[in-house]
Structure 1
Amino acid sequence: MDHISGGTDRTGAPAAEPAPTGATRPARPRGGRRFAALVVCLGLVVLLLLVSLGTGARGVPLDTVGRVLLHDDGSPEAIIVRQLRLPRTALAVTVGAALALAGVVMQAITRNPLAEPGIVGVNSGASFAVVTAIAAFHVTSVSGYIWFAFAGAVLAALLVYALTSGATRSNHHTRLVLAGAALSASLGACTGILTMFDSSAFDSYRFWVVGSLENRGTEALTAAVPFVLVGIVVALVLGPSLNALALGDEAGAALGLRVPWVRAAGFVSIMLLCGAATAAAGPIGFVGLVVPHVLRLLLGPDLRWLLAFALPGGAILLLVSDIAGRVIAPPGEIEVGIVTAFIGAPALLWLVVRRREVTA
């Protein structure tokens, strides 16, 4: 596994990494330029919000979008924008920001740049809970099984954490990966058995498992937002502590860091962010893996900035994916989980190849 390297200054921020011999790294923005870049990212999110509200089977001009947002005149455009597309767009921002932020935290506490939120069993736990709700309790609506999905995600994450709580510092990261993989495989097998013997459960489950923002409604958004907000606060507060943890458990403890508490708090933020996002939109891959990679390439290893940029970064990726899914195959659309896979897989391959070239 690759580890985040570099020392820290007195503020807890990792020192700049020296450029490897024979390779050049892109210049990374510092100080005021990083803040300006963050403002630009937030502005891009706002622009994509407006584009998302105007994009679909029936296009709405941007000036009309702005007008009906400020004043509901009861026109067909106002109904489309305010009642149909606004909740969907807000959910895209919420889910994208949550998954990207969880990815940064996950890679920080495992010190593995290839780690992603699904490694703690969140996706498999939510999937199994949804299938159980459909098969055993005949729940078929999104509003009905969102709470089952969140409960399954939380319970799976807690079980993985319990299995790794007794591990030593030297093998904690390996044990976390193995426990998450084993639990995901077990729950995936159970999910497959249920869907194989219950065709109605499979018919309902297959529309959720691909990851989609369509027809989620405001209930999914309102149910997810409180948990996401708490997870965001916890993750941002942990920024300086995660910088120290990136040096290693022993070095962090020498700096006065309470390593088990920091790791537990990071795990709680991942559980809240991923659990709520997966429950609301279904399993959506690559957001929590690709966004932290790109941000680390552009900004360096300082986790305080990575956490801040992950919020608009994840929102941008999911908004672009959702918009693309609506314009690729009109008048129908492609689910956002499929689009993120098409975007994320080549991007991840490029990042892996580039990382190999730089470190060679």
Structure 2
Amino acid sequence: MTAAAEGASSARVHRRMLGLLLGALGLVVFSALSLLLGSRSVAVPDVIAGLTTWPATDIAQAAVQTRIPRTVLGLIVGASLALAGAVLQGATRNPLADPALLGVSNGAALAVVVGIAVAGAGTAASHVPWALGGAAAASVVVYGIASLGREGATPLKLALAGAATSATLYSLLSGVLLSRTDVLDEFRFWQVGGIGGTGFGEMLPVLPVLLLGAVLAFASARGLDALALGDDVARGLGSRTWIARAVAGLAAVLLCGTATAIAGPIGFLGLTMPHLARMFTGPDHRWLLPYSAVLGAGLLLAADVLGRLVARPGDIEVGIMTAVLGAPVFIAIVRRRRVREL
């Protein structure tokens, strides 16, 4: 490598590191806004007192302390869903791949409904095993259908199989809900997608699962870069494509299934954030994955804060707000034709 090429590579790394640093600072800002704003706005001294004084001694401090778990959950869920979308797009080489399109979200949702109806799973922690099982089963079914035929699981066949499976799962989901109105009453609030009302006691048991999913996602970066060149080239370079896809798929199932279990199905993050990150990082998954996680966490917190402000003294669930914010972003990306670059 020439000195000029080395200098350009070093400058590119520095720019990407600076971008990650700015993204982290943005998360700090959004986290602060999440603690400050809501049905009752508080001042900065109240936030500091709420973080340092336990238990709370006044209403403002109590408001801050109820928003802390919501803020942490927003960061975790946003990063998890964006990571899941990024690894799915890389593994399938499909720019429209996300947990919703490939049936992973509906598989998790159907399994959670069955868990509520059959086993009385009424808490976020009890939803997790059901959601993971449903997400994994849906992924296996989609990949199995797409693998039929001589060409194997091509990006187009994966998208078609995922859309068909997702529609089937949604029909089964509707059938269960129509036959069990008691389950419908509990499910309809979870289905919208929200991060309010969940405490640290419900979050802590699922953190190891999300951490494992994140580790697998980042470990799959090199394999996803090889897959981007095409299966034949990847195999020629010594990459075991089936292992790369298996690791990426397992990461997506763990991240999406667990995030869906604790927050409900939240759309657009897994589809939009990887494309937005790709505008800054290019196709290199070593940078694309952390950028996607940071952008996903930031958008979810921003959507949650905005949902609290526009509907005071109530709030609009974050699942609705992410669609409102995510759709224009995705349309803008498509117009720039960056959606084609994987």
1:212 corresponds to which residue? 194
* Conserved? CA contact 1:169–1:249, under 8 Å: no
Say if 1:245 and 1:145 are closer, same or farther in 2 by CA, change over 3 A.
closer
1:355 corresponds to which residue? 337
2:297 corresponds to which residue? 315
2:55 maps to 1:55 = no
2:240 maps to 1:261 = no
Letter in 2 for 1:186: T
Structure 2 unaligned runs (5+)? 2-7
Q: How does 1:1-360 map to 2 (within 5 A)?
A: 30-72=12-54, 74-76=56-58, 77-82=60-65, 84-164=66-146, 171-355=153-337
Identity of aligned pairs, percent?
41
* Conserved? CA contact 2:217–2:248, under 8 Å: yes
* Conserved? CA contact 2:192–2:266, under 8 Å: yes
Say if 1:148 and 1:132 are closer, same or farther in 2 by CA, change over 3 A.
same
Alpha-carbon RMSD across the aligned residues, in angstroms, is 2.4
> Deviations for 1:73-131, whole angstroms, at most 9, x for unmatched residues?
6323333323x211111111001001111111111111121211223322111221222
More helix by share: 2
Say if 1:46 and 1:167 are closer, same or farther in 2 by CA, change over 3 A.
farther
Say if 1:183 and 1:54 are closer, same or farther in 2 by CA, change over 3 A.
same
1:194 and 1:342 map into 2 onto residues whose CA distance is: 29
How far is the alpha carbon of 1:347 from its aligned partner?
1.6
Secondary structure of 2:95's match?
A: coil
Secondary structure of 2:336's match?
A: helix
* Conserved? CA contact 1:146–1:220, under 8 Å: no
1:256 and 1:287 map into 2 onto residues whose CA distance is: 33
Say if 1:312 and 1:196 are closer, same or farther in 2 by CA, change over 3 A.
same
2:13 and 2:24 map into 1 onto residues whose CA distance is: 17
1:294 and 1:210 map into 2 onto residues whose CA distance is: 24
How far is the alpha carbon of 1:143 from its aligned partner?
4.4
How far is the alpha carbon of 1:194 from its aligned partner?
1.5
Say if 1:137 and 1:91 are closer, same or farther in 2 by CA, change over 3 A.
same
2:317 and 2:267 map into 1 onto residues whose CA distance is: 12
1:13 corresponds to which residue? none
TM-score computed with the length of structure 1 as normaliser: 0.85
How far is the alpha carbon of 1:171 from its aligned partner?
4.2
2:172 and 2:143 map into 1 onto residues whose CA distance is: 21
1:343 and 1:211 map into 2 onto residues whose CA distance is: 15
2:321 and 2:125 map into 1 onto residues whose CA distance is: 24
How far is the alpha carbon of 1:330 from its aligned partner?
0.3
Letter in 2 for 1:239: A
Letter in 2 for 1:330: R
What is the count of residue pairs matched by the alignment? Answer: 332
TM-score computed with the length of structure 2 as normaliser: 0.89
How far is the alpha carbon of 1:180 from its aligned partner?
2.0
1:357 and 1:185 map into 2 onto residues whose CA distance is: 24
1:61 and 1:325 map into 2 onto residues whose CA distance is: 20
1:322 and 1:224 map into 2 onto residues whose CA distance is: 21
1:133 and 1:141 map into 2 onto residues whose CA distance is: 11
Letter in 2 for 1:79: A
2:154 and 2:339 map into 1 onto residues whose CA distance is: 29
Letter in 2 for 1:102: A
Say if 1:168 and 1:65 are closer, same or farther in 2 by CA, change over 3 A.
farther
How far is the alpha carbon of 1:275 from its aligned partner?
0.7
Deviates more, 1:296-305 or 1:32-41: 296-305
Letter in 1 for 2:255: L
Secondary structure of 1:333's match?
A: coil
1:132 and 1:189 map into 2 onto residues whose CA distance is: 13
Secondary structure of 2:101's match?
A: helix
Deviates more, 1:156-165 or 1:215-224: 156-165
* Conserved? CA contact 2:95–2:340, under 8 Å: no
1:357 and 1:161 map into 2 onto residues whose CA distance is: 23
